[in-house]
Amino acid sequence: MNVIRLFVVLALLLTATPALAQGGTHAIAFDGFRFEFTDTVASRVTVQHFPGDDPQIGPGGADAPHLRFELSHISHDPMPEAPPPTIGDVRVYAIADMAGYEGYAERVEQLKALLAERPDLSSYQVVVENLTQNTLPFLPILPAGQLLRARAEYVDTSAVSGISYLVVYRQDVSPLLSNDFVWTFQGLSADGSRYISASVRLSTPLFPDEVSGDFEWVNWTQEQWIAAFNEGIGMLNAASPSDFSPSLDDLAAMVNTFAFSN
C-alpha cells in the first residue's frame, strides 16, 4: 500500500511541471503528514519510508527509521544523466523508533529542555575555541562538527514546536563560502510523539563563492578563525531573509504548514 501511494504522489508532482514553472504553492501529504512549499524551495519531492540503518554503525553513520520527503528541482534536461541533486529534506521520526540509536535520545531531550525553559538563543550564536560547546539539537547526527549557528529562534504552531536556525557543518575551519549554510527546523509534534527535522541548503551573496587565492592556511590562527566566524554570524543575523536562496521567509512559511492527520 505504501509503495502504491508513493508513486501516486510523485506522479501528481511530475505531471504538474507546467504549473510549477509558472510559480505557486504546492501541497504534499503522505502517511499522516502534510506540508506546503513554494517553487523557490523545491519543484520535485521524492517520498520514502527509510527503514533505519544498523544502529551498530554508530553516530554519524546510522540514521533511525523515518518518513523522508526529499526536496529537489525538476531538471529541464529532456535526457538527464542522473536524478536532480537533493537540496534538502523533511524527516519525520517516531521517537519510539529511535531506541538503540546512539545520541538520538540526547538530541530529543536537549530540544525538549530548550522548549520548556526557553533560554535566550543568542548564547548559542557564538563561536568559541571548543566547537562542541553551544551546539543546538540537530538530527540526523552528521559526521562533522557544528561550526556555527545564526538566526536562531523559537517556532510554535498548532502542530509543532521547535527552533529554526542557520548552521554550518564542517570537518575543517576554512573561510566561510556562499554555499556553506543550511537552514534547519528541529521540532516536536504537539503530542510529543514525533521529531521533525527539516533542512535546506542555502546560497547567499554575503560570502564569496571560493576561498581567496591569497589565503594561507599557515597564517590562519585560532584567534583569526574564531573572529572571522563570529563576524560571519553577525552578518547572517543582520541580513534580510531575501539575502538567501531560498528565501528564509519561504522556508518559515513551509514550517507553518506542517500538519499531522493521525
Tell me the three cell numbers of residue 183.
537552514
| pTM for this model (two decimals) | 0.89
pLDDT higher than 70, residue 198: yes
Question: For the chain, how big is the Rg over CA atoms in Å?
Answer: 19
Contact 136, 107 (CB under 8 A): no
Residue range 130-179, pLDDT digits in tens: 878 889 999 999 999 899 999 999 999 999 999 999 999 988 888 999 99
pLDDT confidence tier of residue 33, bands split at 50, 70 and 90: very high
Q: Which of 152, 164, 194 has its CA nearest to residue 255?
A: 164
The total domain count for the chain is 1
Tell me the three cell numbers of residue 95.
521517537
Which domain covers residue 121, as residue numbers?
2-209+217-260
Q: What is the pLDDT of residue 2?
A: 36
Task: Count the Cβ atoms, other than its own, within 10 Å of residue 204.
Answer: 18
Specify the range with the lowest mean pLDDT, choosing from 73-87, 195-209, 210-224.
73-87
Amino acid in position 257: T
Mean pLDDT estimate for the chain: 88
For residue 214, what are the contacts with CB-CB under 8 A and spacing of at least 6? Answer: none
